[in-house]
Chains A and B, each alone.
Chain A
């Protein structure tokens, strides 16, 4: 186990995870809106925001998949030590973490079952930056339309077409997070 696996967690988990959940709830409930997550110092290449999401949502009952450069020993150890989440292949993952490119093809991830659409993966997509620009979003949670700097549009249009099945995404960059549930209709501008 690498030394910094033991550090970088929450110092006051009940309160920090409560704040983090509220920000992530707002992010998922208002697609395209940007929020800040703080309190975790995960090893590279995991962003602070994604680290906070992991500490807030993952535990021994949620299999996690690490994709690409995120599948490295320091991060594996950190997640194992702080959450006890089993590290698994893409198809079994409740949460998958990586850059958009590393997560490809996203058709590998669980989209739920017709009678249990909730049994689907949540992707934590690590981005260089996040901003309210780019593809247009509308649907539940959005008053009119919103914009979000998504890495592409075709995959999200295809994901929406499977509704109520589909994966859900958090996009993270530094301490910033935005949400994109499967219910959002994405249009290229």
Chain B
């Protein structure tokens, strides 16, 4: 297979038009899931086909693309998707959040603040926030129509009754501009506050479930909670062992079979930049420069 056999950014123009129209309607009705005729992509459903189709519909040859999975640029699926667009769209790629014009992500929002002109594309497995409470699309669609979100509040309240706290730690539901309840994709709830009032455009693509939804910039996004149990964005109570950051979301890494573990930034670019700037964590060594790494 050579890249020349396929159209720019892989998808044919008619498919891109269909996706682009869905994106624009998604922007016009923030948080509402627009059905779209998702195509089979050359990677499996569930592996980012929705995000890939949204990215393909947005890319221009002038873009610089960053792809992350779990916050990291070098996880295998991120590498695979980045390579796909290098091959089919010939776009420049980067690991630096501030250098990217389009960032496709799975399960994280980068630590570095996003800016105007950037687009964050989320890969979404199950776009329907009510799906685990009501498996039928015909029912959940009606619930969104009637703003019948009581079931969701009941579920969260049952958590509090049983555990003393809301036991949802990722894919934590949000309400957009006071209207639609939305699934922010399986990002940790630590990332939820970054959804709101972002200068960047945020687009969500669910390929298998055939839905696209969007948050325009500067959109009010509120994590669902209760007055007596307010939403708290939580993370591991540690600093990064490599760069010493105390405010970034951390992955826990098991280092031996004696219970040894360390905590490291899940955002590899954020961590690298801090280490390059001379920050060193408990177990870290100063990082080689990015140029040397490449």
Chain A residues with CB under 8 Å of chain B are: 13-15, 17-19, 21-22, 24-26, 28-30, 56-59, 61-62, 94, 114-118, 120, 122, 139-143, 163-164, 166, 168, 181-183
Contact = CB atoms under 8 A, between A and B. Distances in A.
A14 B13 contact: yes
Contact of A118 (B8, B20, B32): B32
Interface of B: 7-9, 13-14, 16-18, 20-30, 32, 34-35, 57-62, 141-142, 144-145, 177, 179-180, 199, 201, 214-220
A56 B17 contact: yes
A81 to B, nearest CB: 16
A122 B24 contact: yes
B177 A15 contact: no
B216 A30 contact: yes
A120 B216 CA distance: 19
A22 B22 contact: no
Given A118-B34, A140-B30, A141-B216, 19 more contacts: A14-B7, A15-B61, A17-B17, A25-B20, A25-B58, A26-B201, A29-B27, A30-B217, A58-B17, A115-B141, A116-B35, A118-B29, A141-B218, A143-B199, A143-B218, A164-B180, A168-B28, A183-B29, A183-B216
27 contacts: A14-B9, A15-B60, A15-B61, A21-B58, A22-B58, A22-B60, A26-B201, A29-B214, A29-B217, A30-B217, A56-B17, A56-B20, A57-B17, A57-B24, A59-B14, A116-B35, A117-B32, A122-B24, A139-B177, A140-B177, A140-B220, A141-B218, A143-B217, A164-B180, A168-B25, A168-B28, A183-B28
Contacts of B142: 115
B141 A15 contact: no
Given A29-B216, A141-B219, A182 B28 contact: yes
Contacts of A183: 28-30, 177, 216
Contacts of A59: 14, 17
Contacts of B29: 117-118, 163-164, 181-183
B16 A164 contact: no
Interface hub of B7, B29, B32, B57 (most chain A Cβ within 10 A): B29
Nearest to A138: B218
Nearest to B146: A114
B30 A115 contact: no
Contacts of A182: 28-29
A26 B214 CA distance: 13
Given A30-B216, A143-B217, A14 B22 contact: no
Contacts of B13: 13-14, 17
Given A114-B145, A115-B142, A164-B29, A21 B177 contact: no
Interface of B is mostly: mixed
B29 to A, nearest CB: 5
A18 B24 contact: no
A28 B215 CA distance: 12
A142 B116 CA distance: 11
A152 to B, nearest CB: 20
Nearest to B26: A118
Contacts of B28: 28, 166, 168, 181-183
A66 B177 CA distance: 34
A117 B22 CA distance: 12
Contacts of A181: 27-29, 216
A183 B30 CA distance: 8
Contact of B201 (A17, A25, A94, A139): A25
A157 B75 CA distance: 48
Contacts of A94: 21
Given A21-B57, A164-B179, A115 B145 contact: yes
A15 B17 contact: no
B153 to A, nearest CB: 20
B218 A140 contact: yes
B214 to A, nearest CB: 8
Contact of B8 (A15, A22, A117, A164): A15
Contact of A57 (B21, B141, B145): B21
Contact of A29 (B18, B32, B180, B201): B201
Nearest to B25: A118
A140 B17 contact: no
Nearest to A58: B17
